[in-house]
Chain A
Amino acid sequence: MSQLLTVSKPRRNTELLLLVLALAMSAMANGLVNLNLGRSFDNDFYIQIAILTVLSVGFHVVLRFKAKYADPVMLPVVVALNGLGLAVIHRLDIASGDTAGTRQWMWTSLAAIAAIAVVWFLRDHRILRRYTYISLLASVILLILPLVPGISAGNVNGATVWIAIGPFTFQPGEIAKITLAMFFAGYLSSNRDLILLAGKKIGPLQLPRAQDLAPMIVAWLASVGVLVFQRDLGTSILFFGLFMVMIYVATSRISWIFIGLALIAVGGVAAYQLFPHVTRRIDVWVHALNPEYIGAAGGSFQVVEGLFGLANGGLMGTGFGQGSPDNVPLANSDMIIASIGEELGLVGLFAVISLYALFIARGFRAALGTRDAFGKLLAVGLSFAFALQCFVIIGGVTRLIPLTGLTTPFLAAGGSSLLANWIILALLLKISDAARRPIDVSAMPPSSETPPTIEPTQKEVPAP
């Protein structure tokens, strides 16, 4: 198994320093909102900053004990993003009289605690490989839940992706993203040799055997199923992208990409032809600035208002509290990027996207560094899905692609998304810990499954 040369230093002090910066930025963002909107620095402000500090420092301390060699950059990046999100949601609450901010604080606490628990109790990420098929089952159940009468929250903003239990609403698809990644990682790390070596070769393309194609067909069907039954184009793209990148990394065969793209093309054309809501989405995207589409129900009002907000912000932004981000429907969730872009400008948005890029780069770095195929696949899957999610939602808001309702990780108001993404953080931290830890064979847990696979030797290049 190829390895990158990594100097095994814990770098926890670096993390602490970065955390202080991230917390200071969050406090200042929240403070600026209060200042600019004429709010006093009441108890809520100090309590909330204290909670965020306790959670981040607590997480940091747990990492010192439980994952000493974990990546030092990821946690501060997440704290900065989450803190900024809280400030923006608070700012929008002041404009609209909503209380989304309070809920977001609760969910942030819960999600951070869940992530700390993952780091604490998950001794080694390879243990998750034992639950490959349980993950598949969990994914299927999570995806079906929103369609089950009684707990389904019905059609919300055009998609059936919510469940409601009592006063709580939840988007199980967010968690399914993790369980699906776990399943694919487990399945592919166990079966990659079969997929790799069997099958016919036509020209440069190594075609897989029919039975090896089965999981890809399953993934394709799952994506289409989500699209058809839940009317959720964004999640559908996300799941399929997740699977494609994982099978590509598992096999290093470019042929999978062509097969996958062919399936996407077929699925895309069919969806455009068959499903009116997909046709409508595309039409609205193409004609977004046409007054007829702006005014129409289910038209482009939301995305166009977002664009107007972004344009109003321009290069430097209006400053917190000086713009009108609350003009945009769903300003604190789907459209939070437009809210940030309006008040913090192109400069602020570039900073946010750089933070995302940094997070993803560290995730890929963990995948490169870790020694087991399962860990590599899981880290790549989670990181790439994260990148794809950022691309689909931010690209949608900026009208690069049609707008679909995916959440903006760590920023958008919404509990399920926070919970899922903090758990992804915890998993990536665990994998990076394994990657950067000095090699100690005795630390390997006894594996009940296939022995570690042999990776063809490759030329080493510095990590990205």
Chain B
Amino acid sequence: MNQAIRNSWIVAIALFALLFGSISYVQFFAVDSLNANPNNNRQLEMNFCGNRGPILVDGQAIAESVATKTDCKFQRKYNDPLLYAGLTGFFSKYSGQYGVESAMKDELTGTSDSALFDRIAQAFTGAQPQGRSVELTVDSKIQKLAYDSIPDGIGGSIVVMNPKTGAIIAMVSKPSYDTNLLATHNKADFDESMASLVGIPGINLFGSSAYKQLYAPGSVFKIIDTAAALESGKYKKDSILPNPAQLTFPGIEYTLPNYANGQCYTQDKASFAFALENSCNTPFASIALDLGQDAITAQAEKFGFNDNSLTLPDSVVGSRFPGSEGKLDAPALAQSAIGQRDVLSTPLEIAMMTAAIANGGKQMAPNLVQTVRTPELKTVSSLKPEVLRQSTTPEIAAQITDWMVSVVDNGIASAAAVPGVEVAGKTGTAELGDGLNNSWFTGFAPANDPEVVVTIVMPEVDVATGAQFTSPNASKLFKAVLKK
């Protein structure tokens, strides 16, 4: 009988051994995967009330944690929220984290792997865990100027970046909103604010429209057609392109008209310079039909289209040009080649495309974070410019730069000019029907040694409004950045 008792005891102890094993698994080996589970809002709740590090612009906090007298010890506070809502994002107990707040959360809460030793030290000294500060690449003056240059009630986005480093100098979009409304600890206030904010047309609550929203790019896409044409070897810089008043398609009723506002109708053959200066449609549609969809897709991808993995560090919505999975028929390809129909782009992607031309064909990874520092101001990491991809050859980039300079000097982007500085630019007008367009400007300066790229989009405006607020504002921003 005693032997049977001992055997039963062994079974009981074996059951306990299994328990020790399963607890070790859950509380040690599976901790990271459980904490990272998307259904786990415990970490969020824990650091919602914690002292997160600030987000800084020019040394000033645009997001900081302020001590409260309630159980929830800290309240996240956003300064100049309208200016920075699209960059900081917000941190809500009820909806989650967005923008830099989300992308840099490990650094802001001090829980990143590199902060492990800090945490161990804190455990011994009893100090409250404190997050790291995240300094952005943004220039507050340019940010303000860019924000103010978009008229209230119309909306739009502006990206200003350094083509050589990829650093974002300014990134704004309107309509914006007060992120403090969503960071509230009060559920009822949050619900009410959320309900009224989501109703604002054109608003993007979870990151700037400049990198979260897709628009038809219109004629700025012709830069990619031009690069594809030159790269194919079938076209030379002095090739003469067909420029009919309208493009017809055998057996199909559809016709593609040339751009109505400008000089396009004056000649039925065009050089690249003339076609770009006047933003004629039919020459570029012809190029696309001649080269075929695959060539255009490949070139678009070399400039950053169809890339869904880009981060700022917040994730950037991928711009789209249909590839092998979406075969276009001839009219669709012709329309897409002039930035309509099946092609969609974020303003950031257009800025990156422009930056690649400005930087000798080398596309730099865009970046919003300059420096991460510990509470003791020790630098943990700082921006290292990184080449994303070679978009085109230096020769083609230089050639396109020349033509873009003449677009500003002689063409329809003349309002973007800055006295004493050579500016390269390209406009775009994507027709949305009912007389409304997405009005674009993208360009850089100085053309011989580019320091700044400016991309502006005014979605859903008439032609006059677009012309009023794109190129002239680009000129203002060039002047401000170059201090002219």
Residue A461 is within 8 A (CB to CB) of chain B in the complex? yes
Q: Which of A84-92, A357-365, A423-431 contacts B (4 or more CB under 8 A)?
A: A357-365
Residue B1 is within 8 A (CB to CB) of chain A in the complex? yes
In angstroms, Cα B196 to Cα A207, docked, is 77
Residue B13 is within 8 A (CB to CB) of chain A in the complex? yes
Residue B4 is within 8 A (CB to CB) of chain A in the complex? yes
Chain B 167-195 residues near chain A, CB threshold 8 A? none
Residue A419 is within 8 A (CB to CB) of chain B in the complex? no
Residues of chain A within 8 A of B31, CB atoms compared: 311, 314
Q: What string of 1s and 0s marks CB contacts (under 8 Å) between A326-354 and chain B?
A: 01000000000000010001100110010
In angstroms, Cα B26 to Cα A273, docked, is 30
In angstroms, Cα B42 to Cα A346, docked, is 18
Residue A277 is within 8 A (CB to CB) of chain B in the complex? no
Q: Which of A11-19, A126-134, A173-181, A394-402 contacts B (4 or more CB under 8 A)?
A: A394-402
Q: What string of 1s and 0s marks CB contacts (under 8 Å) between B238-261 and chain A?
A: 000000000000000000000000
In angstroms, Cα B29 to Cα A346, docked, is 11
Contact, CB under 8 Å: B8 / A308: no
In angstroms, Cα B10 to Cα A206, docked, is 23
B219 to nearest A CB, angstroms? 44
Question: A291-B39, A360-B12, A391-B16 are contacts. A311–B45 as well, Cβ < 8 Å?
Answer: no
In angstroms, Cα B12 to Cα A356, docked, is 11
Residue A245 is within 8 A (CB to CB) of chain B in the complex? yes
Question: Which one of A245, A341, A349, A353 lies within 8 Å of B8 (CB-CB)?
Answer: A245
Contact, CB under 8 Å: B28 / A346: yes
In angstroms, Cα B332 to Cα A343, docked, is 61
Question: A324-B46, A384-B12 are contacts. A395–B39 as well, Cβ < 8 Å?
Answer: no
Question: A350-B20, A400-B18 are contacts. A384–B8 as well, Cβ < 8 Å?
Answer: yes
Contact, CB under 8 Å: B15 / A388: yes
Residue B324 is within 8 A (CB to CB) of chain A in the complex? no
Residues of chain A within 8 A of B39, CB atoms compared: 289, 291, 294, 304, 308
CB nearest neighbor in A for B8:
A245
Contact, CB under 8 Å: B18 / A391: yes
Q: What string of 1s and 0s marks CB contacts (under 8 Å) between B1-33 and chain A?
A: 111111111111101101111111111101100
A371 to nearest B CB, angstroms? 11
Residue A307 is within 8 A (CB to CB) of chain B in the complex? yes
Residue B266 is within 8 A (CB to CB) of chain A in the complex? no
Residues of chain B within 8 A of A391, CB atoms compared: 15-16, 18-19
Contact, CB under 8 Å: A252 / B3: yes
Residue B37 is within 8 A (CB to CB) of chain A in the complex? yes
Q: What string of 1s and 0s marks CB contacts (under 8 Å) between B143-157 and chain A?
A: 000000000000000
Chain A 221-247 residues near chain B, CB threshold 8 A? 245
Contact, CB under 8 Å: A309 / B23: no
Residue B380 is within 8 A (CB to CB) of chain A in the complex? no
Contact, CB under 8 Å: A314 / B19: no
In angstroms, Cα B2 to Cα A118, docked, is 26
Question: A252-B3, A400-B22 are contacts. A311–B34 as well, Cβ < 8 Å?
Answer: yes
Residue A376 is within 8 A (CB to CB) of chain B in the complex? yes
Question: A304-B39, A357-B16, A384-B12 are contacts. A252–B27 as well, Cβ < 8 Å?
Answer: no
Residue A312 is within 8 A (CB to CB) of chain B in the complex? yes
CB nearest neighbor in A for B45:
A324
Contact, CB under 8 Å: A368 / B12: no
Residues of chain B within 8 A of A312, CB atoms compared: 35, 42-43, 46
Residue B125 is within 8 A (CB to CB) of chain A in the complex? no
Question: Which one of B4, B7, B24, B34 lies within 8 Å of A308 (CB-CB)?
Answer: B34
CB nearest neighbor in A for B21:
A400
Residues of chain A within 8 A of B22, CB atoms compared: 394-395, 398-400
Question: Which one of B11, B16, B26 lies within 8 Å of A307 (CB-CB)?
Answer: B26
CB nearest neighbor in A for B12:
A387
In angstroms, Cα B24 to Cα A313, docked, is 12
In angstroms, Cα B83 to Cα A63, docked, is 75
Residues of chain B within 8 A of A350, CB atoms compared: 20, 23
Residue A464 is within 8 A (CB to CB) of chain B in the complex? yes
Residues of chain B within 8 A of A346, CB atoms compared: 23-24, 27-28
Question: A353-B23, A395-B22 are contacts. A387–B16 as well, Cβ < 8 Å?
Answer: yes
In angstroms, Cα B41 to Cα A312, docked, is 11
Residues of chain B within 8 A of A383, CB atoms compared: 12
Contact, CB under 8 Å: A313 / B27: yes
Residue B309 is within 8 A (CB to CB) of chain A in the complex? no
Residues of chain A within 8 A of B20, CB atoms compared: 350, 353
Question: Which one of B6, B13, B21 lies within 8 Å of A461 (CB-CB)?
Answer: B6
Contact, CB under 8 Å: A314 / B1: no
Question: A315-B27, A341-B23, A399-B26 are contacts. A390–B5 as well, Cβ < 8 Å?
Answer: no
Contact, CB under 8 Å: B35 / A311: yes
Contact, CB under 8 Å: A395 / B18: yes
A3 to nearest B CB, angstroms? 9
Contact, CB under 8 Å: A464 / B23: no
A169 to nearest B CB, angstroms? 29
Beyond A289-B39, A384-B8: 12 further Cβ-contacts under 8 Å?
A245-B11, A249-B5, A294-B39, A311-B35, A312-B43, A324-B42, A341-B23, A346-B28, A353-B19, A388-B12, A390-B19, A464-B9
In the complex, 21 of the A-B residue pairs with CB atoms within 8 angstroms, ordered by the A residue number, are: A2-B2, A289-B37, A308-B40, A311-B26, A311-B31, A312-B35, A324-B45, A341-B26, A346-B24, A346-B28, A360-B12, A360-B16, A368-B2, A376-B5, A380-B5, A387-B12, A388-B15, A390-B15, A394-B22, A398-B23, A400-B18
